Amino acid sequence: MKTDQPHGDNAPLDALLKEWNPKPSLPPRFQEQVWRRIERVEAMPAPSVSLATAFANWMAIMLPRPALATAYVAVLLVIGASVGWSQARQETARVTSDLSTRYVQAIDPYHANP
């Protein structure tokens, strides 16, 4: 059967450890140095951050998360594909109209342009 005291009776040592209460001392002028540091930091002007820097910092924080990075890439791909498709539709409509007009002029050069 095991006891709580593995090396026998240590009552004097236990009593000494219970009454031991270390009181660490701070370095000299510790509080004054702390307040001086606080004043120095408060006196410094706040750094101005540009929008590009703020965006770059935000991206650096968010992109290491794989799920968020995948979502960003997916959203950007969808937006890019949508814009490209829309511009391609407009260009196709313009080219079709030009080709139709040229075809009519090739068949009947005296036909009035609409």
Whole-structure pTM value? 0.38
Q: What average pLDDT score do residues 66-75 get?
A: 85
CB atoms within 10 A of CB 101: 13
Model confidence over 8-57: pLDDT tens digits? 678 888 888 888 888 888 888 999 999 999 999 888 887 788 888 888 88
* Residues 32, 30: Cα–Cα separation, whole Å: 5
Predicted confidence (pLDDT) at residue 1 exceeds the cutoff of 60: no
Q: What average pLDDT score do residues 63-71 get?
A: 81
Say which amino acid occupies 64.
Answer: P
CB-based burial, 33-71: b 16+ in 10 Å, e otherwise: eeeeeeeeeeeeeeeeeeeeeeeeeeeeeeeeeeeeeee
Going by pLDDT thresholds of 50, 70 and 90, the confidence category of residue 77 is: very high
Predicted confidence (pLDDT) at residue 106 exceeds the cutoff of 50: yes
Model confidence over 83-105: pLDDT tens digits? 999 999 999 999 999 999 888 88
Question: Could you tell me which of 5, 1, 3 has the C-alpha nearest to residue 17?
Answer: 5
